[in-house]
């Protein structure tokens, strides 16, 4: 990456992203966060400069700096993606930890977070704005849509398909070939052996729908 990066979000995910860019030798211009109490603080040697909507800092995005969105909350992440599209006509860059294993035949979109020791297998398709937390596995031939979050230590097995906005809790297993519908939520530690419908929440081993 030739340009420095501006990180949107100074919480734990922002700190993890900063670590990734630092270890990859990418200069971080600064962090932006909407929590005013964080303004002026330093994370390592990088300052929290101001809010995510401050034109004084946004003007650098696209010309002098790249952007990365480091927000866990999906709706906040979506809002910031849309804002960057509308105001700066740019896509966020990917943040891939140097210890992650990403196959040369894997396809990644924009703005993805791939943390330490995560594995992305051969022929895998990852959409945009996904979060792959530490030691998660997306095995060969699996497909993830946009805004998917895969918790630490989770396994999305070969040929599995996760639609947009799916959440997979830490330590869960999606077995080979299973389809998970848009916006579904998989509880931590669950083992998913059958299709999960859009919007459903499942939990357990084997995972079963959680009744509201």
Phi, psi of 42 (to 5 degrees): -120, 135
Are the CB atoms for 110 and 128 separated by under 8 Å? yes
Residue 27 exposure: Cα atoms within 13 Å on the Cβ side: 6
How far apart CA 70 and CA 131 sit, in angstroms, is: 9
Local structure of 82: helix, strand or coil: helix
Closest CA to 30 of 78, 67, 74: 67
List, by residue number, the catalytic residues.
Answer: 133
> Which residues have a Cβ under 8 Å from the Cβ of 195 and sit 6 or more positions away?
178, 179, 180, 181
What is the separation of C-alpha 180 from the centre of its chain, rounded to a whole number of angstroms? 18
């Amino acid at each position: 990456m030739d340009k420095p990066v501006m990180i949107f979000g100074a919480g734990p995910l922002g700190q993890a992203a900063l670590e990734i860019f630092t270890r990859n030798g990418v200069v971080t211009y600064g962090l932006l966060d909407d929590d005013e109490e964080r303004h002026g603080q330093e994370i390592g040697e990088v300052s929290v400069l101001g809010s995510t909507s401050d034109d004084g800092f946004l003007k650098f995005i696209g010309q002098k700096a790249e952007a990365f969105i480091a927000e866990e909350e999906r709706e906040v992440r979506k809002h910031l993606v849309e804002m960057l599209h509308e105001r700066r006509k740019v896509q966020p860059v990917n943040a891939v930890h140097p210890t992650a294993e990403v196959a040369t035949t894997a396809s990644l979109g924009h703005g993805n977070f791939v943390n330490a020791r995560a594995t992305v297998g051969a022929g895998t398709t990852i959409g945009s704005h996904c979060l792959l937390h530490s030691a998660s596995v997306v095995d060969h031939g699996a497909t993830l849509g946009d805004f998917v979050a895969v918790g630490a230590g989770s396994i999305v097995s070969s040929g599995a398909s996760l639609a947009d906005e799916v959440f997979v809790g830490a330590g869960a297993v999606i077995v080979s070939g299973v389809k998970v519908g848009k916006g579904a939520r998989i509880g931590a530690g669950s083992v998913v052996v059958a299709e999960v419908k859009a919007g459903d929440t499942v939990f357990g081993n084997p995972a079963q729908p959680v009744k509201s």
